């Protein structure tokens, strides 16, 4: 019976194809081209969109129109290269979109209607392509924002309908890309608390490889929405075609990499459809998150630099600005502090020479004081015992000391032991009939509820209204979502399956309000370590906390992996008690980003204290190069016993080179390191920085070499078991 009806459907479909084939329309070619690469989309004889080319961009735009006959000969790609694959009609592979119409029917076809290009300036354009279902009043607009010079594309989809009632969106990808090549290698990143961003690279074989998250809030704790696809061979730093991508969505995501039966790659990326059928009302636009990607023909190094330039210039809040160095009290006090202890720490911060003191967790809660992680979260009033004079007093005291003051909040969360929980149980995500499940003794507030959005906005607003001089916020998010259920959606008669999406949309609404009122104040994005960092969030945050694991050896690897996708100005690195390495090693590693301290500085011996102060001064002298310069990964710690990375000022007049020994094995000999990004015609004076007083460098003080020499013959930083970390500064000399 089933077989017969299936056969009938297939016949119907075939018949449909034949009928449609009669209505041939003029072929439309739409190139999505950056400076170096292009994706070419074309209509087929039935007005459906096909991706017919992915590769280097052509000099003459008119040449793209001739691709179809040369490239996708005899329609050999059949159904696989659809530019946005619908389901329930002709498609038999993984769809990009799947819907249930208002009348319960599950079929969708999408035909090209029109497209337009908006040129925003000489570098930026937006191409939008309108597709419509021929039967239902249902439409999809594919949008591509193109930054030509940076070779970056941000792609998203807008979905809308005019049906009589809500349509259920069962799957609604941001992008559906198609690549033809012989071999594809996927690098993905997985992790856990204190083990974030661990890489894996594997050749994609036929079938679907999915990377996804179902954690709800700190969605990228176990799997990251950042990935690399390398074409023809495994990814390498300086050659080969590679795509670096990220789904810029702070919630559940899904990336499907499908090798089809012609060995081509279909990539479908978007919000995870897992329990997330979204009910879309008529005439409302559902905008998916963006898939952001860059393609380089010169390996991962160039791809990262493109992404960094783009992120600093166009995405990250104040990406081209300054950052504040800081002293954080988390690891030196945990929850155990009072005003006097904090005032001593202000002095330490001042003496060290950092810009700001950051007060971490534990400053709030009275009925349920926040003296450990099992109480008080949600009650954002100063704890009267610890801080009898309130935050205002602390801000003033810090200012008197000559440093700025910042504060930790975790506004999306609640401990069951809190007044907030007692007053507003209906604001908490929980199954009313089931036992609660905690993650770090806490639950998540329901940000799909506008009242909760007001509450979360109010926490930040209140802090700034009462303390206008507050200079920094660390916004944490420790728990995942268990027992996903919203009392608010229930009350509104909306489906529970909207929750994961509406939570994140609610979070973005709050952050937009915060930024509308406080556009500049620096904020650190933290998530019980690094379970949250994406470009949609970094529109609102100046930086992020990559991991609670600050062991510098671990950090060399972790920061290496983050560096593929994020510029160093966004990465917060603190010196803590983690790791057995010398203080110098820790400071050097932390200097490859935004430097901070989380130590009891007063307990350092005089030599170490002096060294720290000197290292901060050094950092202040070269931080501009690390924050705004071009980064080159020189020696890969996964492939050798060393790591080396350098940053070059855009005018090539200065550079800093970080070198590390990453093993304890006996008698390791380092080859000269080939530097990159310098001007071959310039001469550079090489100086070793961050040496303890009284230590002389094994590098002669007057070493001057040309950029040409340094990039071809290289330079030996003399790393060995006694010199496990070597920081070099290069300055142009005449
Ligand atoms: C998380 C953060 C830490 C610290 C604690 C405070 O674990 O990652 O840096 O702020 O919360 O509870």
Output the pLDDT for position 69. 59
Same domain, 489 and 532: yes
Same domain, 702 and 622: no
Contact partners, residue 12, CB within 8 Å, separation at least 6:
none
If pLDDT is split at 50, 70 and 90, which confidence band does 72 have?
A: low
pLDDT for residue 521 is more than 50: yes
Atom of ligand 1 nearest to the CA of 474: 10
DSSP percent split of the chain into helix, strand, coil, nearest 5: 25, 30, 45
pLDDT for residue 440 is more than 80: yes
Output the pLDDT for position 393. 98
Domain boundary among the residues 629, 662, 694 is at 629
Query: CA distances (Å), 638 to each of 25, 194, 428, 587, in order?
Result: 54, 19, 44, 22
Output the pLDDT for position 665. 85
| Residue 643 near residue 560 (C-beta atoms within 8 A) | yes
- pTM, two decimals, is 0.95
410 CB near ligand 1 (under 6 Å) = no
Same domain, 190 and 334: no
High-pLDDT (> 70) share of the chain, %: 95
Three-state SS annotation for 144-178:
EEEECCCCEEEEEEEEEECCCCCEEEEEEEEEEEE
* CA 475 – ligand 1 centroid, Å: 10
CA-nearest of 559, 26, 509, 601 to 250 is 509
Owner of token pair 């202040």? 620
Convert the pLDDT of each residue in 357-416 to its tens digit: 999 999 999 999 999 999 999 999 999 999 999 999 999 999 999 999 999 999 999 999
144 CB near ligand 1 (under 6 Å) = no
Contact partners, residue 112, CB within 8 Å, separation at least 6:
28, 43, 47, 48, 49, 129, 130, 131
Which string of DSSP letters, residue by residue, matches 613-634? HHHHHHHHHHHHHHHHSEEEEE
Angle (nearest 5°) at CA 441 between 531 and 533: 10
Same domain, 442 and 554: yes
360 CB near ligand 1 (under 6 Å) = yes
Same domain, 202 and 341: no
If pLDDT is split at 50, 70 and 90, which confidence band does 181 have?
A: confident
Calculated CA dihedral for residues 533, 534, 535, 536, nearest 10 degrees: -110
401 CB near ligand 1 (under 6 Å) = no
Same domain, 232 and 351: no
Q: How many other C-beta atoms are found inside a 10 Å radius of the C-beta of residue 429? A: 28
Convert the pLDDT of each residue in 165-179 to its tens digit: 999 999 999 999 999
Contact partners, residue 720, CB within 8 Å, separation at least 6:
661, 668, 670
Output the pLDDT for position 531. 80
The pick from 218, 364, 408, 577 for probing ligand 1's pocket by mutation, whose C-beta has the most ligand atoms within 8 angstroms, reads 408
Mean pLDDT of 222-248: 98
d(CA 731, CA 221): 40
Residue 684 counted as domain residue:
yes
CA-nearest of 615, 675, 623, 679 to 646 is 675
46 CB near ligand 1 (under 6 Å) = no
| Residue 472 near residue 325 (C-beta atoms within 8 A) | no
Mean pLDDT of the chain: 94
Same domain, 260 and 138: yes
Domain boundary among the residues 629, 661, 685 is at 629
The pick from 327, 476, 477 for probing ligand 1's pocket by mutation, whose C-beta has the most ligand atoms within 8 angstroms, reads 476
If pLDDT is split at 50, 70 and 90, which confidence band does 729 have?
A: very high
Mean pLDDT of 653-666: 95
pLDDT for residue 1 is more than 80: no
Output the pLDDT for position 71. 56
pLDDT for residue 208 is more than 90: yes
Which residue puts its alpha carbon closest to atom 8 of ligand 1? 528
Query: Whole domain around residue 31: which residue ranges?
Result: 4-315
d(CA 342, CA 240): 52
Which residue puts its alpha carbon closest to atom 7 of ligand 1? 528
d(CA 16, CA 159): 25
| Residue 349 near residue 399 (C-beta atoms within 8 A) | no
Q: How many domains does the structure of the chain reveal? A: 3
d(CA 429, CA 481): 8
The CATH number of the domain where 725 resides is what?
2.60.40.1180
Convert the pLDDT of each residue in 276-305 to its tens digit: 999 999 999 999 999 999 999 999 999 999
Same domain, 80 and 192: yes
Residue 321 counted as domain residue:
no
Same domain, 699 and 718: yes
Distance of CA 243 to the CA centre of its chain: 15
High-pLDDT (> 90) share of the chain, %: 92
Q: How many other C-beta atoms are found inside a 10 Å radius of the C-beta of residue 613? A: 15
d(CA 263, CA 56): 20
Which residue puts its alpha carbon closest to atom 1 of ligand 1? 528
Number of DSSP helices (H) and strands (E) in the chain, helices first: 14, 35
**Which tokens belong to 549?**
């694991």
Residue 271 counted as domain residue:
yes
Output the pLDDT for position 93. 93
| Residue 529 near residue 243 (C-beta atoms within 8 A) | no
Same domain, 309 and 211: yes
530 CB near ligand 1 (under 6 Å) = no
Same domain, 260 and 375: no
The CATH number of the domain where 334 resides is what?
3.20.20.70
Domain boundary among the residues 629, 662, 689 is at 629
Same domain, 331 and 271: no
């Amino acid at each position: 019976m089933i077989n017969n009806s299936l056969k009938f459907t297939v016949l119907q479909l075939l018949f449909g194809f034949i009928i449609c084939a009669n209505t041939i329309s003029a072929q439309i070619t739409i190139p999505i081209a950056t400076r170096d690469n292009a994706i070419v989309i074309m209509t087929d004889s039935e007005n459906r969109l096909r991706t017919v080319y992915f590769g280097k961009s052509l000099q003459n735009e008119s040449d793209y129109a001739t691709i179809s006959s040369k490239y996708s000969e005899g329609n050999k790609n059949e159904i696989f290269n659809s530019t946005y694959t619908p389901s329930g009609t002709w498609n038999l592979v993984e769809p990009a979109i799947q819907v249930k119409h208002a009348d319960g029917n599950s079929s969708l076809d999408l035909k090209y209607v029109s497209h337009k290009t908006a040129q925003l300036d000489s570098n930026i354009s937006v191409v939008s392509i309108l597709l419509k279902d021929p039967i239902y009043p249902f439409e999809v607009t594919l949008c591509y924002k193109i930054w030509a010079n940076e070779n970056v594309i941000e792609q998203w989809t807008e979905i809308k309908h005019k049906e009589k009632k809500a349509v259920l969106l069962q799957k609604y990808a941001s992008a559906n890309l198609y690549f033809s090549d012989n071999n594809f290698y996927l690098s993905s990143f997985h992790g856990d608390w204190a083990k974030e961003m661990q890489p894996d690279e594997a050749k994609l074989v036929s079938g679907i490889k999915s990377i996804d998250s179902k954690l709800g809030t700190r969605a990228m704790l176990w799997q990251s929405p950042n990935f690399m696809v390398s074409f023809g061979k495994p990814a390498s730093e300086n050659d080969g075609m590679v795509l670096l991508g990220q789904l810029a969505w702070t919630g559940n995501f899904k990336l499907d990499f499908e090798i089809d039966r012609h060995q081509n790659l279909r990539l479908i990326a978007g919000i995870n459809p897992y329990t997330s059928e979204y009910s879309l009302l008529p005439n409302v636009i559902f905008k998916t998150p963006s898939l952001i990607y860059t393609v380089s023909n010169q390996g991962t190094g160039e791809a990262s630099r493109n992404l960094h330039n783009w992120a600093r210039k166009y995405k990250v809040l104040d990406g081209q600005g300054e950052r504040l160095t800081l002293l954080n009290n988390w690891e030196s006090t945990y929850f155990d502090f009072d005003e006097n202890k904090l005032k001593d720490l202000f002095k330490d911060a001042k003496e060290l020479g950092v810009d700001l003191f950051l007060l971490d967790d534990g400053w709030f809660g009275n009925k349920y004081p926040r003296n450990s992680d099992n109480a008080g979260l949600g009650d954002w009033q100063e704890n009267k015992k610890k801080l009898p004079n309130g935050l205002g007093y602390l801000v003033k005291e810090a200012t008197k000391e000559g440093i700025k003051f910042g504060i930790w909040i975790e506004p999306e969360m609640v401990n069951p032991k809190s007044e907030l929980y007692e007053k507003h149980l209906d604001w908490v995500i929980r199954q009313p009939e089931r036992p609660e499940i905690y993650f770090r003794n806490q639950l998540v507030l329901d940000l799909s509820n506008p009242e909760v959005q007001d509450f979360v906005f109010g926490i930040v607003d209140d802090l700034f209204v009462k303390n206008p001089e507050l200079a920094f916020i660390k916004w944490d998010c420790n728990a995942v979502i268990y027992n996903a259920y919203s009392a608010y959606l229930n009350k509104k008669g909306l489906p529970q399956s909207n929750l994961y999406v509406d939570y994140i949309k609610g979070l973005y609404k709050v952050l937009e309000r915060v930024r509308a009122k406080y556009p500049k104040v620096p904020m650190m994005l933290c998530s019980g370590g690094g379970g949250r960092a994406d470009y949609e969030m970094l529109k609102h945050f100046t930086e992020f906390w990559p991991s609670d694991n600050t062991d510098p050896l671990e950090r060399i690897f972790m920061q290496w992996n983050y560096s593929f996708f994020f510029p160093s100005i966004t990465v917060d690195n603190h010196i803590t008690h983690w790791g057995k390495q010398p203080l110098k090693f820790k400071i050097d590693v932390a200097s490859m980003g935004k430097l901070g301290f989380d130590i009891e500085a007063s307990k350092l011996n005089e030599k170490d204290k002096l060294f720290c102060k000197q290292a901060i001064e050094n950092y202040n002298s070269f931080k501009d190069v690390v924050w705004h310069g071009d980064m080159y990964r020189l020696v890969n710690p996964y492939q050798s016993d060393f790591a080396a990375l350098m940053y070059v000022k855009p005018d090539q007049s200065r550079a800093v080179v970080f070198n590390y020994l990453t093993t304890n094995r006996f008698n390791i000999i380092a080859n000269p390191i080939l530097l990159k990004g310098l001007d071959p015609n310039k001469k550079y004076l090489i100086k070793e920085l961050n040496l303890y007083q009284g230590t002389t460098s094994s590098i002669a003080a007057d070493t001057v070499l040309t950029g040409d020499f340094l990039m071809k013959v290289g330079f030996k930083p003399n790393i060995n078991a006694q010199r496990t970390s070597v920081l070099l500064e290069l300055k142009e000399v005449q």
